[in-house]
Structure 1
Amino acid sequence: MALAPTLRSVTSTGSAGGELSRPVIDLHTHSSVSDGTETPSELLAAAAAAGIDVLAITDHDSVAGWDEAAAAAHEHGVTLVRGIEISCAWRHSSIHLLGYLPAADDRPLREELARARDSRATRLERMVERMAADGIPLTYDEVLAQVAPGATPGRPHIADALIANGTIEHRDEAFGSWLGDDSPYYVGHYAPDPVSAVELVRAAGGVPVLAHPFTRTRSGSVDDALIARMREAGLVGLEAYHRDHGADEVAHAEELAVRLGLLLTGSSDYHGTGKRNRLGENTTTPEVLEAIEVASSGVTEVLRP
């Protein structure tokens, strides 16, 4: 597979010296099916309004938003890449793996995602109990009120409950004080090994890309040896261009991609009002999107209007 660089510009110079329009491609966003604040339909409407040409919906451990997103993509004239973001664990660190275009009905993948979602739900209740015991004004019912029907529950919903009851103003406050991996209120949950997750995505016909591998906000770090093992298992790319990566992290990802023969992607990791990330703030080139399509089995296609 040829390596194609990722650019954040949306124009290129043609042979006659003029500028040719290039599509704006954002391959990492979340809806209210996981921890975004907009329904899949609202997410696609927001993408269209922001001038996004190609959008990937990548909710945490769930494909439940795919059908609604597909209908909305057609309505708004946006090309849709259906995907997931799998929460993995390695050496007490949280690692996120993007899986593009897997078969939605692949049984091993669906069972692994369901196991992770179930474990996450029970852990939230224990976290709330710890927080309440320490005087933080919160009940589990308040948290459940923030989880949309069928959505994957997660720590952002605890933050949303704290916003709703007036304790904080933004999710960042909760994660900075109480919800981080190093917090005394943190409770772990089941998550697959990242190498196994890569194998699952590939077996389901999908294309695995490691999300923001060197983010400065994560406890612990992902080392190059693990990424090399993931590459041997079928990893296709690295999400290099992300707001959680500074110049050093981007340079590291670029060097590693060349060394291991990986694609480079860029994305917003948009969550609606749940994060400060903005649609299209980092993008992926058409060449890389084409390579992702080629690397997939073709069972789940990119949906073009």
Structure 2
Amino acid sequence: MDPLALNADLHCHSDVSDGTLTPEGVAARAHANGVQLWSLTDHDETGGQHRARRAALELGMPFLSGVEISVTFAGKTVHIVGLGFDIDDAALRYGLAATRGGRSDRAREMGQSLEAAGIAGAYEGALKYASNPDLVSRTHFARFLVESGVCASTPEVFRHYLAEGKPGFVPHRWATLSDAVRWIRGAGGMAVIAHPGRYNFSPVEEFAFFTEFKQLGGEGVEVVTGSHRPDEYPKYAGLAREFGFYASRGSDFHSPDESHTDLGTLAPLPGGLIPVWELLAERVHTP
């Protein structure tokens, strides 16, 4: 089989971070949708990795360890996916714990900001959706605001309340790009730029981001992702070729009710690319 045609889904989330399904539930949905190589990439947290790997292997589905690390670059929040690392690496776990450390205070401040805007009880409401209080995120607030009837959908919440410059937005300084790449590589994994089309960088900023990432040892970029429009695939395929990056693919699935791209439903990677799973073949856990 053409390696580019493999139905790999290497970016999705469980309720260990801001998804709504358990790691086992995400594994079952991926398998049912024909995923042939799967990775769970919860935000700044590897606590679901052993469960995800066990569930995948019981279903006969090959598995790669994964995580999505929040990074501050040029004043913006970007995400770096780590794939194929040692789940129990101490330095990675310590670094992720430090990154998570500011989320709780940030969430309380978001609740206060929303209360000042006339929305009471948002912090407590968001907590109801978070299985891990240390990982309360904007997504959890968005679910509460939908439940409360403030907005009709989570995208509407983000547009009106949680995006930069809106009443509930509170910035947080995450890990540095150097931190994220170092932690992933130190644990034996590959660092991959997640959904670069989401960041609204200028061409100069995007070139600087890709250049610094490569200089630090980053090796991959998501080309086909649920967070990219199909007309963006050729652009990021071209950048992967230009920078010599391996190409990745992932739905960025969070929930059956919220995600517009389901697990395993993406288009194949464009031609002329080398997929990340070619380099990571020895790190894939197989049944």
Residues of 1 paired with 2:218 and 2:30: CA distance? 28
Aligned to 1:208: 191
Pick one of 151, 154, 161 that aligns with 1:171. Answer: 154
Residues of 1 paired with 2:15 and 2:29: CA distance? 13
Q: TM-score, normalising length from structure 1? A: 0.84
Residues of 2 paired with 1:78 and 1:169: CA distance? 36
Question: Which runs of 5 or more residues in structure 2 are unaligned?
Answer: none
Contact 2:114 2:122 in 1 (8 A): no
Q: Secondary structure of the equivalent of 1:87?
A: strand
Q: Which moved more, 1:79-88 or 1:218-227?
A: 218-227
Aligned to 2:278: 291
Does residue 258 (structure 1) correspond to residue 245 (structure 2)? The answer is no
Residues of 2 paired with 1:241 and 1:122: CA distance? 34
Change (3 A) 1:204 1:66: same
Q: Secondary structure of the equivalent of 1:136?
A: coil
Does residue 118 (structure 1) correspond to residue 101 (structure 2)? The answer is yes
Cα RMSD (Å): 2.3
Aligned to 1:229: 212
Aligned to 1:304: 286
Aligned to 2:177: 194
Pick one of 281, 285, 291 that aligns with 2:265. Answer: 281
Pick one of 136, 153, 170 that aligns with 1:153. Answer: 136
Contact 1:131 1:185 in 2 (8 A): yes
Q: Which has the higher contact order (CA 8 A, sep 6+)?
A: 1
Contact 2:246 2:274 in 1 (8 A): no
Aligned to 1:13: none
Q: Secondary structure of the equivalent of 1:280?
A: coil
Question: Which runs of 5 or more residues in structure 1 are unaligned?
Answer: 11-22
2:13 corresponds to which letter in structure 1? H
Displacement of 1:258 in angstroms is 1.6
Displacement of 1:200 in angstroms is 2.0
Structure 1 runs (4+) deviating above 3 angstroms are 218-222, 246-249, 283-287
Contact 1:92 1:220 in 2 (8 A): no
Displacement of 1:248 in angstroms is 5.7
Q: Secondary structure of the equivalent of 1:59?
A: coil
Could you say which structure has the higher helix fraction?
2
Change (3 A) 1:73 1:263: same
Residues of 2 paired with 1:283 and 1:71: CA distance? 27
Aligned to 1:183: 166
Contact 2:72 2:78 in 1 (8 A): yes
Aligned to 1:15: none
Contact 1:101 1:302 in 2 (8 A): yes
- Deviation per CA, 1:252-303: give whole Å up to 9, x if none: 3222222221111221111123322211232666962443315xxx6xx322
Contact 2:13 2:252 in 1 (8 A): yes
Q: Secondary structure of the equivalent of 1:291?
A: helix
Residues of 1 paired with 2:213 and 2:3: CA distance? 21
Contact 2:9 2:35 in 1 (8 A): yes
Aligned to 1:52: 35
Pick one of 215, 227, 234 that aligns with 1:244. Answer: 227
Residues of 1 paired with 2:201 and 2:109: CA distance? 23
Q: TM-score, normalising length from structure 2? A: 0.89
Q: Secondary structure of the equivalent of 1:240?
A: strand
